[in-house]
Amino acid sequence: MTRVKICGITEFEDARDAALLGADAIGLNFYPKSPRYIDPSRASKIIEKIPPFVTPVGVFVNHPDPGNLEDFALSLGLQAVQLHGNETPDYCSMIQRVKVIKVIKVDSSFRVDTLRNHGSGTFLLDGGAPGTGTAFNWNLVYGANAFGSIIIAGGLTPENVSEVVTTLHPFAVDVASGVESGPGKKDYEKMRRFIEAVQRADVAIMGAP
């Protein structure tokens, strides 16, 4: 079954609704320049309150010290860090105590076999400007599943996510702006329709001959 991550959570109520609707993970953005930035103390309170089996993921961009990043993640109770910057394979390998999701920009020069050079094993494939909700050409990432657990992001909405699931069979899909009423403010109905669209696509795949 395709996992769903609702990213850019800034309010506990949105985290609670996402969990109740069936989201597998929530994303908390610690990049100060992001419109979805959340203060660590506020994020900690959300993490404390979310139900079990919902994975809290921290979003970071070019944090200068992987050891310090790892300590910070553990202090908040994050179970994974999602790295949106120019972090190298060596940088990623230095983070051992939490899971690493490496974000890879997909543009016309992208080749799926380059994923083997990163080694983290879990990749979030996003558009040319990660975090902006810009879609990319999904045809460019066929075969990516051979190199690890693949998460698809970038311009996903309740209207198009089923196509991603049925054509690419990703491990997970990740959405922020596609289920918002404004930056950092989630829309309950959009989240519901997004998650239901993923579930319907999964059922259709399982029922296919």
8 Å CB contact between 83 and 102: yes
Q: Is 92 a catalytic residue?
A: no
Catalytic residue among 17, 126, 174, 187: 126
Question: Which member of 7, 14, 17, 92 is catalytic?
Answer: 7
Backbone φ and ψ of 131, nearest 5°: 90, 0
Q: Are 27 and 176 in contact (CB under 8 A)?
A: yes
- Among residues 101, 67, 68, which one has the least CA distance to residue 174? 101
Residue-wise burial string across 60-82, b where 16 or more C-beta atoms lie within 10 A, e elsewhere: bbebeebeebbebbeebebebbb
The C-alpha R_g of the chain, in whole angstroms, comes to 16
The closest alpha carbon to 165, from 186, 191, 145, 188, belongs to 145
Residue that the structure tokens 């970071």 belong to: 60
Residue 1: count of CB within 10 angstroms of its CB: 13
Active site residues: 7, 126
